[in-house]
Amino acid sequence: MDERTHTHVSEGVSSGDLGRRLVARRTQLGLTTEEVAARAGMASTYLAHLEKHSGTAPSREVLLTLAAVLRTTASALTGGDVDLPPGSAQAGRAPEFTHLSSAECADLLAQHGVGRLAVSTAEGPVIVPVNYSVIDTAIVFRTAHGATPSLAAGSQVAFEVDRIDDTFSQGWSVLVRGQAQTVTDPGEARRLAERAYSAPWAGGRRDVWVRIEPHAVTGRRIVV
């Protein structure tokens, strides 16, 4: 593959985003730069250059090749799907629907990230995304006084996490139901802050910790 022929993919594509997304997807698959480059038929130095330098963008041919190797889409690598809801691709052929075991659900939940909290409010049920962690089998998240997630305290709630793979029309979801309580002990709040996976993406002052003690955890997976 002639690296001298690489041109910009299209106007408006952020090559800086491309580099970060290449690294993120490669890391997610547990692959090294050398392994991805070998499968794509390109020099590892060029792939490393794409990942590290925001001023470089590959040709469409190279982008499609990398997308295939990384089992994703060119749109996903360039951030072209960031404003699209997941699952917009067509259903796969002969999909298989299975239920996840308790151990599989626990493993998926323990990856941390963003989940969806379903809580009752005066205006009716509301579902909001929250950055969460799993600590001692409990779902914990940080929010602000008076914010919608804080209304979960003292109530039975539902909490859901999922992963949708548009490339292969498959994915999984895990549903947790349990009692939510505000963490009032300062020492416990400090312990959660020390062990939490990430701070809330929304930023701002969010010093109210909420813990969900699961009483039922179920999961399902669709594979093609």
List pLDDT tens digits, range 123-157: 889 999 999 999 999 999 999 998 999 999 999 99
Contact 134, 89 (CB under 8 A): no
Provide the pLDDT for residue 39: 95
DSSP 100: P
Question: Do strands 156-165 and 170-182 pair parallel, antiparallel, or not at all (unpaired)?
Answer: antiparallel
Q: Is the same domain home to 107 and 178?
A: yes
DSSP H helices in 6-159: 15-28, 33-40, 44-52, 60-69, 74-78, 102-109
Q: Note whether residue 86 is domain-resident.
A: no
CATH classification at residue 177 = 2.30.110.10
Q: Note whether residue 88 is domain-resident.
A: no
Q: Is the same domain home to 61 and 109?
A: no
Q: Is the same domain home to 114 and 63?
A: no
Alpha carbon 141 to chain centroid, angstroms: 16
Over residues 21-31, mean pLDDT: 90
Contact 210, 196 (CB under 8 A): no
Q: Note whether residue 143 is domain-resident.
A: yes
Q: Is the same domain home to 166 and 106?
A: yes
Q: Note whether residue 90 is domain-resident.
A: no
Whole-structure pTM over 0.75, yes or no? no
Q: Tens digits of per-residue pLDDT, 155-164?
A: 999 999 998 8
Q: Is the same domain home to 69 and 178?
A: no
Q: Is the same domain home to 7 and 100?
A: no
Q: Is the same domain home to 108 and 70?
A: no
Q: Is the same domain home to 20 and 115?
A: no
- Which of 78, 105, 132 is the last residue in one of the domains? 78
Supply 217's token pair: 């955890």
User: Residue 147: which domain range?
Assistant: 96-223
